[in-house]
Amino acid sequence: MSKLRVESFTISLDGFGAGPDQDLNNPLGVGGTSLHGWALSTRTFQKQVFGGDGGEESGIDNEFAARGFDNIGAWILGRNMFGPIRGPWPDESWRGWWGENPVYHVPVFVLTNYARPPLVMEGGTTFYFVTEGVVVALARAREAAEGKDVRLGGGVNVIQQYLRQRLIDEMHVAIAPVLLGTGERLFDGVNLPALGYTCTKHEASSQATHVVLSRQ
């Protein structure tokens, strides 16, 4: 069976995976962008996310960024990762953070309490809005992935839900040398050892410490 993987999810030294007060101008919350300096400088992110040729050619950070795009056949996102709108959809004008050609290029399943028709975008991305919960979203994503792995993009609350049900197979977390002081703590109230997760890899660059957690 395909794996459910978290990749390149970055937290601060004090454990926050997003800053407070997410809005249109602060999609990762206030201060949240500062977490991702390690990723933004890599060749992989410049190519996969921004369509450019810049960034470093190699190195630890680039290796961890690249693994996040390997063998991925579908994504799962919380609604906050799709956009800043809360409550019922006022209309269908919001089409995501990434414009008409999003970075995913595979089916994406968005967890929400409010139904919305599928949204077909350029480049192979279709957003499907799932109201039946995390287990159904995973089943649908696995079917769409056709044997490849499913990448869980977040945010924090969604990752916690999947962790507590022991549905995440592998999780790459980057720890940035940044203090946020407030926001959403990734492992708040989550007992990883009790859930069967152990650290199976750790490496450090000048910009982040990378750890991989695997379910035993």
pLDDT in tens, 99-131: 999 999 999 999 999 999 999 999 999 999 999
pLDDT, tens digit (0-9, with 9 covering 90-100), for 7-46: 999 999 999 998 888 788 887 788 888 899 999 888 887 8
Tokens of 128: 């499907």
The CATH number of the structural domain formed by 4-215 is 3.40.430.10
Write down the domain spans for the chain: 4-215
Closest CA to 173 of 145, 154, 149, 193: 154
pLDDT, tens digit (0-9, with 9 covering 90-100), for 126-167: 999 999 999 999 999 999 999 999 999 989 999 999 999 999
Q: Are 9 and 186 in contact (CB under 8 A)?
A: yes
**φ and ψ of 131, to 5 deg:** -105, 0
What mean pLDDT do residues 184-210 have?
96
| Region of poorest pLDDT, from 6-10, 28-32, 72-76, 81-85 | 28-32
Q: Does position 55 have pLDDT exceeding 60, yes or no?
A: no
Residue 211's pLDDT is 98
